């Protein structure tokens, strides 16, 4: 570090919006932040929830990138802009897109601008369930277990299943695709002015957790593995990559075009990208064997362990274990729940149906008042449900639910599973059903912890990150009780963006290792939830009930 101020930018692409932050590399203090909600996504263009199709247009990403960084620079001032040293990016994933030979997403070409198959296939898109099942069955035919580092089960949320589905179902894209690129790999390529898809630097995080890359395989599985599954995949490994890079590596410098667009210098270094939860774990100051839970629409649970401790261990049913995917030099292990905040959002929308659909037809209030009432009432639903649910007595015979409203990510991925609610009666009101859903999401979290432990990986603490962790004391206290472990909530509001900024500071050479950036730029924790010992026996019994309901659901729904 020098006495001269040095600033870095972290960019965090979420499911609904992108956020950029400018922070001081010396202490991690935020100077400016800006958020941009994807306009096409807000209208649910190119999506079909009934088919589990969720696509995002690259223009939403590009417009958001430019808007948020420029807004941050305006807030921070020109003297700060002159001292910005690096930018690093995290995104959702697996969220890949078809690109041409120049590395341009097909949706940016005029003939594909309204073509869903040419857009980014969002992580939560489950249209490739059939293809994932075929990959799992196909893998059993090979002497080498190519699924061993992704928990033994390939998911429809991931890279190859999505590629195969697009190739099979869309002839126009199939005839124009050159390569298949993760969102977190494409944004650095865009910022550095890349013009050749073969030059895209693929991140260790995305490639190891979602695309079956492993050092032990010498890269990706061989072409034979994919082409014997379906000839449509023949030759794709040659147009993808062999080498991967950790996020402390530079992807190049900011291009002249983007420097002019953003008001920055071409001296600004761009880091190799990664997934949001992995950089969020760094922003949340992850420690070995402490599970970092990024709690938003879904959860992504990250644990790091020294590589020497993981020798000979392959954890079944998780989303991968990859050397350097979180912190270079350590094994990164990923798990998660496909629906977390989305479960609460689903229930909110369910109970808000009369508000959304009847108020505008009221003969008592005018449209302007109706709109104001809708906004006020919908905003209060979850907080008021939480208060009412918290006041309910603990009851072993209460309503019970599973948390698989968007399938199950871990343990043991199965995106065909559905959420279930049982124990309903005429006394079942909204707070009681909400409590059952809250319990289910906490029980889902416990099943992940127990899988790690049963596979010989200890979980010594919980770090809470994300919107639910910051905004819902009711859920966090329940989770501490269910897990029977304290939960520390990181003080920084935009933890994923902060993690990206920490990697930016490392890429810029301000810190030699990301661990040092994490120590200097992390602000610590501001809230801690402790389990109530008197609730342990109750939640143990309820968790057993949850597992029984889950087994029934798996075999009948």
Residue 359 confidence (pLDDT)? 85
Q: What does pTM read for this prediction? A: 0.91
505-517, pLDDT tens digit by residue? Answer: 999 999 999 999 9
Residue 2 confidence (pLDDT)? 59
337-356, pLDDT tens digit by residue? Answer: 999 999 999 999 999 999 98
Mean pLDDT of the 483-512 span: 96
448 — pLDDT class (breaks 50, 70, 90): very high
With a CB cutoff of 8 Å and minimum separation 6, the contacts of 531 are 480, 481, 483, 484, 485, 486
Q: Secondary structure of 213-249 in the HEC alphabet?
A: CEHHHCECCCHHHHHCCCHHHCCCHHHCCCCCECCCC
What does the mean pLDDT of the chain come to?
95
Mean pLDDT of the 363-379 span: 88
What the block records as the tokens of 128 is 């490739």
In percent, how much of the chain has pLDDT > 90? 91
173-208, pLDDT tens digit by residue? Answer: 999 999 999 999 999 999 999 999 999 999 999 999
401 vs 357 pLDDT, higher one: 401
Residue 550 confidence (pLDDT)? 97
- Give strand pairing partners of 303: 333
Superfamily of structural domain 7-284+493-523: ATPase, nucleotide binding domain (3.30.420.40)
Q: How is 393-450 classified by DSSP, letter by letter? A: PP-TTS-EE-S-BTBB-SSS-BTT----EE---TT--HHHHHHHHHHHHHHHHHHHHH
Residue 415 has pLDDT above 90, yes or no: no
Same fold across 7-284+493-523 and 341-488+526-556: yes
What the block records as the tokens of 338 is 């496909």
65-100, pLDDT tens digit by residue? Answer: 999 999 999 999 999 999 999 999 999 999 999 999
In percent, how much of the chain has pLDDT > 70? 99
Residue-range domain boundaries for the chain: 7-284+493-523, 341-488+526-556
Residue 557 confidence (pLDDT)? 65
360 vs 45 pLDDT, higher one: 45
460 — phi, psi (to 5°)? -100, -10
Residue 1 has pLDDT above 60, yes or no: no
Q: Do you know the residue count of the chain?
A: 557
Q: Residue 505 CB: number of other CB atoms within 10 A?
A: 32
Residue 519 has pLDDT above 80, yes or no: yes
295 — phi, psi (to 5°)? -110, 105
Residue 362 has pLDDT above 90, yes or no: no
Q: Which CATH class, in words, describes the domain spanning 341-488+526-556?
A: alpha beta
Tell which residue, 133, 183, 129, has the closest CA to residue 156: 129
Residue 3 has pLDDT above 80, yes or no: no
Residue 367 confidence (pLDDT)? 85
Residue 361 confidence (pLDDT)? 82
């Amino acid at each position: 570090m020098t006495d001269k101020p040095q600033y870095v930018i972290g960019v965090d692409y979420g499911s609904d919006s992108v956020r950029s932050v400018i922070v001081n590399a010396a202490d991690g203090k935020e100077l400016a932040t800006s958020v941009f909600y994807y306009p096409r996504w807000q209208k649910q263009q190119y999506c079909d929830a009934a088919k589990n199709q969720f696509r995002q247009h690259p223009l939403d990403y590009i417009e958001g990138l430019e808007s948020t960084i420029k807004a941050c620079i305006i807030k921070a001032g020109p003297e700060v802009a002159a001292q910005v040293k690096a930018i690093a990016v995290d995104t959702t994933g697996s969220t890949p897109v078809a690109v041409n030979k120049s590395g341009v997403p097909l949706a940016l070409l005029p003939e594909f601008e309204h073509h869903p198959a040419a857009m980014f296939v969002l992580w939560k898109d489950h249209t490739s369930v059939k293809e994932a099942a075929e990959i799992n069955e196909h893998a059993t035919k090979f002497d080498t277990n190519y699924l061993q580092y992704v928990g033994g089960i390939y998911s429809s949320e991931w890279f190859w299943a999505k590629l195969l589905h697009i190739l099979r179902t869309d002839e126009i894209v199939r005839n124009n695709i050159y390569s298949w690129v993760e969102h977190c790999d494409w944004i650095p390529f865009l910022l550095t002015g890349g013009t050749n898809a073969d030059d895209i630097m693929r991140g260790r995080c995305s490639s190891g957790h979602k695309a079956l890359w492993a050092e032990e395989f010498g890269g990706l599985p061989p072409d034979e593995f994919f082409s014997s599954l379906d000839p449509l995949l023949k030759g794709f490994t040659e147009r993808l990559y062999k080498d991967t890079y950790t996020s402390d590596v530079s992807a190049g410098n900011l291009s002249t075009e983007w420097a002019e667009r953003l008001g920055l210098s071409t001296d600004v270094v761009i880091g190799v990208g990664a997934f949001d939860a992995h950089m969020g774990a760094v922003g949340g100051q992850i420690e070995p064997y402490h599970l970092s839970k990024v709690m938003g629409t879904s959860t992504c649970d990250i644990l790091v362990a020294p590589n020497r401790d993981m020798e000979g261990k392959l954890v079944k049913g998780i989303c991968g274990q990859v050397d350097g995917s979180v912190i270079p030099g350590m094994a990164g292990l990923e798990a998660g729940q496909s629906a977390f905040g989305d479960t609460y959002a689903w229930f909110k929308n369910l109970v808000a149906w009369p508000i959304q659909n009847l108020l505008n037809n009221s003969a008592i209030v005018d449209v302007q008042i109706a709109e104001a009432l809708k906004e006020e009432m919908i905003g209060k639903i979850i907080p008021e449900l939480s208060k009412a649910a918290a006041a309910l007595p603990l009851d072993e015979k209460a309503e019970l639910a599973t948390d698989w409203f968007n399938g199950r990510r871990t343990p043991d991925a199965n995106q065909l599973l559905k959420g279930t609610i049982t124990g309903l009666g005429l006394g079942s009101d909204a707070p009681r059903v909400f409590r059952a859903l809250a319990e289910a999401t906490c029980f889902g979290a416990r099943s992940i912890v127990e899988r790690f432990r049963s596979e010989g990986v200890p979980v010594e603490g919980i770090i809470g990150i994300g919107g639910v962790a910051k905004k819902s004391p009711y859920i966090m206290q329940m989770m501490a009780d269910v897990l029977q472990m304290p939960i520390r909530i990181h003080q920084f509001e935009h933890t994923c963006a902060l993690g990206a900024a920490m990697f930016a500071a490392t890429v810029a050479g301000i810190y030699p290792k990301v661990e040092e950036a994490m120590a200097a730029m992390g602000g610590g924790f501001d809230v801690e939830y402790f389990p109530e010992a008197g609730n342990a026996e109750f939640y143990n019994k309820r968790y057993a009930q949850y597992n029984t309901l889950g087994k029934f659901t798996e075999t009948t729904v």
